[in-house]
């Protein structure tokens, strides 16, 4: 599974550096179900995605819904087990993170997030 680094371009700060990309029907359906609670810096990007549910989950997550340009259109802090989000028409992706991450990084609605492949980031550092 592809791993990404999420950069908040608005605040010039890293949101998470180990985000798994879920971009197939099966990986989006499974999401984080059955996985341990993400460690700091970990998460999952569901693509495409306009709503999420937390049925059968055992822990809360922060969820940011992103427009095609990376702008945060809605943010849920600590969306708990058995809850669900609203449908977000403007969104094409959902970023799921350890609960508390959005507050810790100051990420808010309107911020623009960039997804950087960790392979690309490593290559940039090697050639710098």
DSSP string, 41-73: TEEEEESS-S--B-TT-SS-EEEEEE-TTSBEE
pLDDT in tens, 1-31: 799 999 999 999 999 999 999 999 989 888 8
**What is the arrangement of strands in the sheet containing 61-66, beginning at the earlier edge strand?**
72-79, 61-66, 93-98, 42-46, 13-22, 3-8, 113-117
For range 47-76, the mean pLDDT: 97
Please tell me the predicted confidence (pLDDT) of residue 127.
40
pTM over 0.75: yes
- Give the CATH number of the domain where residue 77 resides: 2.60.120.1140
Q: Are strands 3-8 and 13-22 parallel, antiparallel or unpaired?
A: antiparallel
Domain count, the chain: 1
Residue 50: band (very low, low, confident or very high) from pLDDT cuts 50, 70, 90 = very high
Q: Which residues constitute the domain of residue 90?
A: 3-127
Residues in the chain: 128
CB 94 within 8 Å of CB 72: no
Q: What does pLDDT average to over the chain?
A: 92
């Amino acid at each position: 599974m592809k791993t990404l680094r999420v950069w908040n371009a608005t605040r010039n700060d890293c949101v998470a550096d180990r985000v798994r990309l879920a971009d197939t029907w099966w990986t989006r359906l499974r999401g984080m179900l059955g996985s341990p609670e993400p460690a700091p810096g970990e998460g999952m990007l569901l693509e495409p995605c306009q709503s999420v549910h937390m049925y059968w989950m055992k822990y809360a997550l922060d969820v940011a819904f992103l427009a095609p340009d990376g702008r945060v259109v809605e943010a849920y802090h600590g969306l708990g087990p058995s809850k669900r989000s609203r449908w977000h028409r403007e969104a094409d992706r959902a970023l799921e993170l350890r609960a508390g991450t959005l507050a810790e990084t100051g990420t808010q609605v309107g911020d623009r997030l960039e997804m950087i492949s960790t392979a690309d980031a490593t290559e940039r550092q090697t050639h710098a």
